[in-house]
Structure 1
Amino acid sequence: MAKPVAPRGLARERVLSAAFELFTEHGVHGTSVKMIADRIGVGKAAVYNQFHAKEDIAFEVARPVLEDMARVIRTAESFSDSQERRAVALGGLVELAVRHRRLTAVFYGDPAIAQVLNSHPEMKAVATNFRQMVEGPDRDPGSRIALSMILAGIHVSAADPELDDIDDADLRTVLLEVSQRILRPSRAEV
């Protein structure tokens, strides 16, 4: 029988805050539960009282973005036109990547977090729904490759310390314009 996890509270939030700081400094893989416990001045058992494993902590740190993305998808699904759905979904992704620049920098490209997030059915469903919405009904190789480029570009740009001097509004505008340009149908398709 699995041991119960404590409800949300101050202790949980302290663990999540310390974990986020350490993930920023060392990556998910380079951060241990002991490091998290040391950061907040408790023993490892106190951290395990709040979470079963470090992977659960990493997922909870990412949960706000996951929940925001699920809302974006629900909003996009309310549009009947596939191009409108695509535009709303892409706009939402750009907004989230820019709003959560620090989190994007911590998690994008970290194989440990990719493994954690892909192991959660909730996350897999959000990612699958988003991809299908943006790729469109035909899901041809061109649209799949374009989406991969867009996702990488959005996340790398939002996380790039070389772009820290660019304000959020400008970054958001350019990322959205470039993303829409990449996904624009070619003249042969029109």
Structure 2
Amino acid sequence: MIADELGVTKAAVYHKFRAKQDIVLAVAEVELARLEKVVDAAEAEECSLQARELLLTRVIDLAVERRHVLNTMQADPIMVRFLAEHEPFQRLTKRLFFVLMGKDATLEKRVPAAMISGAIGGAAAHPLAMRLDDDTLRYHLTHLAHRLLQFPE
């Protein structure tokens, strides 16, 4: 299917990638690089509220723009296992949550942050939201995330 979609032979795909897992890992690395740029930008902000706002906005933008890839990544057992065991991904998520919650990761901050992390990607890739236009989905994800994280109005 990949070869057909790219308009190349299956042999060309197998020459570059020896196994399905290699393809999955290559896709994961591309997506992680996008997320890392978002976290880098948020960490560069001097004000923690602005950092949280930037992080949330850009993570939602990524989820909306890449929702078809997210859907595939979340459904692929190799991808799920890879991300669970991938140390760079674990470090990146720690950085992301530090920006989102700050130094004092109290229960009151951890639970909403956990919900948001699952909800943004889950909602963006959910069949109920797949047919929404990008702007509508982005608006609703942002509005609900702000409410859950108790951002100032």
Provide the TM-score with structure 1 as the length reference: 0.68
1-structure distance, mates of 2:108, 2:70: 26
Deviations 1:124-152 (A, max 9, x none): 22211111111221111221110111122
2-structure distance, mates of 1:148, 1:130: 11
Task: Trace 1:32-71 onto structure 2 (pairs within 5 A).
Answer: 40-42=9-11, 47=14, 49-51=15-17, 53-71=19-37
Runs of 4 or more consecutive aligned structure 1 residues displaced over 6 Å after TM superposition? none
Task: Judge conservation of contact 1:98–1:171 (CA < 8 Å) in 2.
Answer: yes
RMSD between aligned residues: 2.5
Task: Judge conservation of contact 1:104–1:155 (CA < 8 Å) in 2.
Answer: yes
Going from structure 1 to structure 2, the CA distance change for 1:52 and 1:99 (only over 3 Å counts) comes to same
Q: Which runs of 5+ in 1 are unaligned?
A: 1-16, 22-38
Which amino acid in structure 1 is aligned with residue 103 of structure 2? P
Task: Judge conservation of contact 2:24–2:78 (CA < 8 Å) in 1.
Answer: no
> Does residue 90 of structure 1 match 2:60?
no
Which amino acid in structure 2 is aligned with residue 42 of structure 1? A
Query: Which one has the largest radius of gyration?
Result: 1
Which amino acid in structure 1 is aligned with residue 56 of structure 2? L
Structure of higher RCO (CA pairs closer than 8 Å, 6+ residues apart): 2
1-structure distance, mates of 2:109, 2:20: 36
2-structure distance, mates of 1:147, 1:173: 19
Q: Which runs of 5+ in 2 are unaligned?
A: none
Which amino acid in structure 2 is aligned with residue 50 of structure 1? K
**Per-residue deviation at 1:54?**
3.1
- Helix, strand or coil at the partner of 2:131: coil
Identity %: 27
Task: Judge conservation of contact 2:28–2:79 (CA < 8 Å) in 1.
Answer: no
Residue number in structure 1 paired with 2:47: 81
- Helix, strand or coil at the partner of 1:161: coil
Going from structure 1 to structure 2, the CA distance change for 1:176 and 1:71 (only over 3 Å counts) comes to same
- Helix, strand or coil at the partner of 1:88: helix
Structure whose residues are more often helix by fraction:
2
1-structure distance, mates of 2:39, 2:151: 22
Corresponding pairs, count: 149
Residue number in structure 2 paired with 1:26: none
